Structure 1
Amino acid sequence: GKTTTIKCVLGLIRPTAGDIRVCGWDVRTHHHKAIEHASAVLEGARNVYWRMTPRENARFFAGLHGLDHRAHRSHIEELLERFGLTDRGDEPVINLSTGMKQKVAVVCALVKQTDLVFLDEPTLGLDIETSLELRGLLRELARKTRRTIVVSSHDMDVIQDVCERVVILKEGRVVADDRVDSLLALFRTRAYRMVLSDGLVGEVVERLARAVSGLSVTARGERTELEFELPAAERLYEVIDIIREGGAVIETITQKEPDLEEAFLRVINDTGSEGGAGA
């Protein structure tokens, strides 16, 4: 429901129920006023005209938004430079790489200088290097300009790398709405990994299984690896005592740092129903 939600906000799809306001304006009753404050990249580089150059596309979209491209020439040139398109600014878009085409689409969305910018799957189909480059540009843009950038993606690495706040949708409903760091903190103290210099007898394993959740015991030569989760950090001392009483020596204890993908899956699974989801 991510793209559908964005299209509803932009007034491209009329919702069957509820209200949407952009900067205080009702999208249904004051669409023109609301849309003055928003721009978007939908379906990637298909937004732009491939037989036109990046510079021509930027000027064209400025005109569509009622802007005189001559008066905004410096802003257009600044965007082309920021996204590394100056040297290819007069090359037809059809001749550019996938990553550059995507950058042109983002430039065309930014030329309007709106308060709200939607980027729908901005890194889809990009190679790793180009994806990382675009993420860095988006972070810099969000930091240096006073605007809200909404990124929708199935790739949780992108969301974690770029965004401060995450909203998770499942089957058209919001199942989580929080800061990225706050969402990760919910799971930060739960997962641990231990390496023991000796094995564990069955009785000790049974005691551990009752004290923790998700216990995994793996023998690796003379060592044993344990992975488990705890409901609270202080329960770790109980686990240590059980292992000591069993005669094993703990070599290392590592707290597994969760990533947004893990948090995402936990949130989705906790909702208990099946269906597509994304952020």
Structure 2
Amino acid sequence: MGQPSTVPARDGAETTSPTSSEGSPAVSVRELTKSYGDVVAVDGVSFDVEAGTVVGLLGPNGAGKTTLIKSMLGLVVPTSGTARVDGIDVHTDPTAAYGRVGAMLEGARNVYWRLSVRENLEFFAGLAGHRPTEVRERHDRLLDQFGLAEKADVAVNDLSRGMKQKVALACTLSRDVRVAFLDEPTLGLDVESSMDLRRELRRLTEQEEMTVVLSSHDMDVVEDVCDRVVVVNEGSVVADDTVRNLVDLFRSKRYRFTLDSLPSRATRERLSSTYDVATDEWETVGDTVEFETALSDGERLHALLGDLLAAGCAVHDVTSVDPDLEDAFLRLTEREV
């Protein structure tokens, strides 16, 4: 089996590497670019992550998220720009930087399946020079929190996919790290385990001041735990703000209309051209028909209602659709469901 994706820590040897200054960002990326020939995967990205916060890194497939994360971990050498963790440049002083970070990449592939759950925890903590007796209490707590206590001496290969994912998460937290990078941490977890993870992430940031950079396609998790979201598309940052502010960008601009029957094709074509009602937006729900559309202001709303009534459509209901993070993400990246 190859080396796991969990980033190893320094072996405990003394180092003359500089430490971060008080109040400096936990993660700092400046004009980071990575090109593969003529293909630009990351294009001049800059942002900071404050200590003790959870920041979501979002983007569609192929947006450059994985390259960006690996560049921040020192696993990919950027074409230009810098990445610092806890004030340390991860490319000029990787040994010191590794001592401050933990990472879970590619889910359960982080761990050694032939080792038991506890042996995995001890192995990854040992990469930082910790003896098993020194971290026993921490590991016991992690096993309890992730529901793995009864499986502590079971080989990971014999566990379910969800439990393997939990083991990978526990290994990332098996030692005291300042910054944790988590890529799809809830993949394969059931609802209860996902909720447990969310509570643990908030506890780590609020009580232990850990910083978390989280990449996920599960918008519910991101919206629930992240203080801020950085959205990447085609290698560039297209949004960087709090979840609430990103959602508020589109609040009260989208409406759902409920009609008694499907309008004629001519009426639907007119609504499509005038109000941007997509042809696939029409949905039959019981004895009614519903569609959604975005309207810029109240005048457009009243105009659409007037056109529906003029076409002989009986309007049962009009509701404002409160957007969530997924709506904001899709519009920011100009992607359709």
- TM-score higher than 0.5 here? yes
Gapped runs of 5+ residues in structure 2?
1-63
Q: Which residue of 2 aligns with 1:82?
A: 145
**Hey, which of these two has a bigger chunk of helix by percent?**
1
Q: Write the mapping of 1:63-102 to structure 2, written as runs, cut at 5 A.
A: 63-102=126-165
Change (3 A) 1:137 1:202: same
- Distance (Å, rounded) in 1 between the aligned partners of 2:239 and 2:263: 40
Note if 1:214 corresponds to 2:277. yes
How far 1:95 moved relative to its partner? 0.7
1:56 is matched with 119
* Code of the aligned partner of 1:267: L
**CA–CA distance in 2 between the matches of 1:163 and 1:261?**
14
Distance 1:226 1:96, change over 3 A: closer
1:225–1:123 CA distance, 2 compared to 1 (3 A): closer
2:185 pairs, out of 106, 117, 122, with: 122
Distance 1:208 1:94 in 2: 56
Higher mean alpha-carbon deviation, 124-133 vs 24-33, is at 124-133
8 Å Cα contact 1:54/1:90 also seen in 2: yes
Contact 2:111 2:167 in 1 (8 A): yes
Describe how 1:154-169 pairs up with structure 2 within 5 A. 154-169=217-232
Matched residue SS, 1:56: helix
Structure 2 match to 1:255: 320
Decide whether the 8 Å contact of 1:44 with 1:122 is kept in 2: yes
Aligned-residue sequence identity (percent) comes to 46
Mapped contact 2:258–2:316 kept (Cα < 8 A) = yes
Aligned residues, how many?
270
Q: State the Cα distance separating 1:22 from its structure 2 match.
A: 0.9
Q: Is the 8 A contact 1:189 1:233 kept in 2?
A: no
Q: TM-score, normalised by structure 2?
A: 0.67
SS for the counterpart of 2:80 is coil
Alignment-mate amino acid for residue 147 of structure 1: M
Distance 1:212 1:111, change over 3 A: same
Counterpart for residue 267 of structure 1 = 332
Alpha-carbon distance in 2 for matches of 1:61, 1:198: 62
Structure 1 residues 60, 203: CA separation in 2 closer, same or farther (over 3 Å shift)? closer
* Offset of residue 259 of structure 1: 2.9
Instruction: Output the CA distance in 2 between the equivalents of 1:106 and 1:200.
Output: 52
Q: Deviations over 1:233-270 (max 9, x none)?
A: 57545655666788876532211122323222211128
Indicate the SS of the match to 1:57: helix
C-alpha RMSD of matched pairs (Å): 3.3
TM-score normalized with structure 1 length: 0.80
Using the TM superposition, give the Cα deviation of residue 206 of structure 1 relative to its aligned residue in structure 2, in angstroms: 9.7
Native 8 Å contact 2:226 2:243 kept in 1: yes
Deviation at 1:158, TM superposition (A): 3.6
The higher relative CO (CA closer than 8 Å, separation ≥ 6) is in: 2
> 2-side partners of 1:76 and 1:218: how far apart?
51
Could you tell me whether the CA contact under 8 Å between 2:271 and 2:277 is conserved in 1?
A: no
- 1:2-81 equivalences in 2 (<5 Å): 2-81=65-144
